[in-house]
Amino acid sequence: MERVYLDYAATTPVHPEVIEAMIPFFREKFGNASSLYSFGQETRGALEEVRQRTADFIGAAPEEIIFTSGGSESNNMALKGIAWTARERGGRILVSAVEHHAVSEPAAFLKKQGFEMVRIPVDGQGVVDLDFIRREIDKKPLLVSVMHANNEIGVVQPVAEIGRLCREREVVFHTDAVQTVGHLPVSVRELNADLLSCSAHKLYGPKGIGFLYVRRGIRLSPLIHGGDQERRRRAGTENLPAIVGLGKALEIAGREMEAEGVRLTGYRDRLIDGLLKKVPDCRLNGDRDRRLPNNVNISFAYVEGESVLLNLDFEGIAVSTGSACTSSSLEASAVLLAIGVPAELAHGSIRITMGKWTTEAELDRILEALPRVVAKLRAMSPLYPGGKNG
Ligand SMILES: *Cc1c(COP(=O)(O)O)cnc(C)c1O
């Protein structure tokens, strides 16, 4: 049985060209980039080349890029780094209600430390309330953090507008762009971002590497103290194979992103239309159009998302019930609750995310399997009006 992977928002396979590019940096080019002899110079050169490419990719300058271990570290560094630098200023932090745990948890941690946390509400489509932000910004918060696109429901936020509001009032603006870099055009200038997080394993690069963009002039307290690497903002010997992998992944994204976006949008719309038509009592979560090209998130009444997931897995099809970080717990998704999905319905939700190796044939398979699995589970459910026991 050919397995079908439809969870690209959780992680992506590493592109074969990325693996090829990384291998020499495990073998002959293993030098420490801080060493002065030629082994070090070789890796230092590669490091700075990737830094330049990364900067170019988002319209930044190379000295504005800090390599980190990925999205979680970048987000932690943004929130704690700003909070700890500016403790004396009263300490309000605005965070949207639909952030990834890698933002909402450091925010909760800072709240315990005495910072004031303000949750930015979202509407029923998952879009943040701009008027709320406009009002709150006048109270001069330390930081506003709103993700570029949501990992569960795929909603793309109006970050350029938020960035503009923040810039006008000289409020620091951070955006978690882990779901967009390499998938949608991302320009830190257009977004007016002061801080921006990225992770390589969401764009066909290796796990455990990413970066934080820090606009020139923004003061940030480091999370990891030690050596002088990354201009003393993030200590530790640079993970060169991974950094080179990230660089290659960005290069590939640069040439393929646009066409991929068009192709996946077609797949996404076909899947949404097909499922809404074939399955009664279901709803699409998140705005239909302000949406990542590869994301489908649907709630099915009278079934458990976990049961759907396991039944599909039995047939070799991998989907998710939401964020990979919450799927092992039995709590309903905070994102779905925030957009007003009732708890019972939130429990019956499935996220399908597609990517580079998704095919038409795979779409056909999920379009056949998912309605059948939902119908089977409903037939066994005591709650379903049309079921055996109903
Ligand atoms: C995956 C993800 C993260 C975490 O990134 P890691 O590199 O896995 O730490 C953060 N934010 C969003 C939106 C994500 O999708």
Percent of the chain topping pLDDT 90:
93
pLDDT digits (tens, 9 = 90+) for 289-317: 999 999 999 999 999 999 999 999 999 99
pLDDT digits (tens, 9 = 90+) for 226-271: 999 999 999 999 999 999 999 999 999 999 999 999 999 999 999 9
What does the pLDDT read at residue 340?
96
Q: Are 102 and 75 in contact (CB under 8 A)?
A: yes
151 lines ligand 1 (CB under 6 A): yes
Reported as a pLDDT band with limits 50, 70 and 90, residue 87 is low
Closest by CA to 189, choosing from 208, 206, 173, 169, is: 173
Q: Provide mean pLDDT across the span 88-105.
A: 91
What does the pLDDT read at residue 47?
98
179 lines ligand 1 (CB under 6 A): yes
Domains of the chain from N-terminus onward? 4-11+257-379 (3.90.1150.10), 16-252 (3.40.640.10)
- What is d(CA 4, CA 313) in angstroms, rounded to the nearest whole number? 9
Reported as a pLDDT band with limits 50, 70 and 90, residue 384 is confident
Reported as a pLDDT band with limits 50, 70 and 90, residue 390 is very low
Cα 86 to ligand 1 centroid, rounded to whole Å: 26
What does the pLDDT read at residue 285?
98
What does the pLDDT read at residue 1?
78
pLDDT at 325 over 50: no
pLDDT digits (tens, 9 = 90+) for 41-67: 999 999 999 999 999 999 999 999 999
183 lines ligand 1 (CB under 6 A): no
Cα 377 to ligand 1 centroid, rounded to whole Å: 32
Q: Are 9 and 147 in contact (CB under 8 A)?
A: no
- What is d(CA 27, CA 7) in angstroms, rounded to the nearest whole number? 32
DSSP string, 221-275: --SS-SSSHHHHTS-S---HHHHHHHHHHHHHHHHHHHHHHHHHHHHHHHHHHHH
Give the H/E segment covering residue 21: helix 16-22
Residue having the nearest C-alpha atom to atom 14 of ligand 1:
178
Q: Provide mean pLDDT across the span 340-354.
A: 96
Cα 383 to ligand 1 centroid, rounded to whole Å: 36
Q: Provide mean pLDDT across the span 17-24.
A: 98
7 lines ligand 1 (CB under 6 A): no
Please indicate whether residue 325 is annotated as part of the active site: yes
Catalytic residue, chosen from 166, 198, 282, 325, is 325
Q: What pTM was computed for the model?
A: 0.96
Q: Provide mean pLDDT across the span 22-38.
A: 95
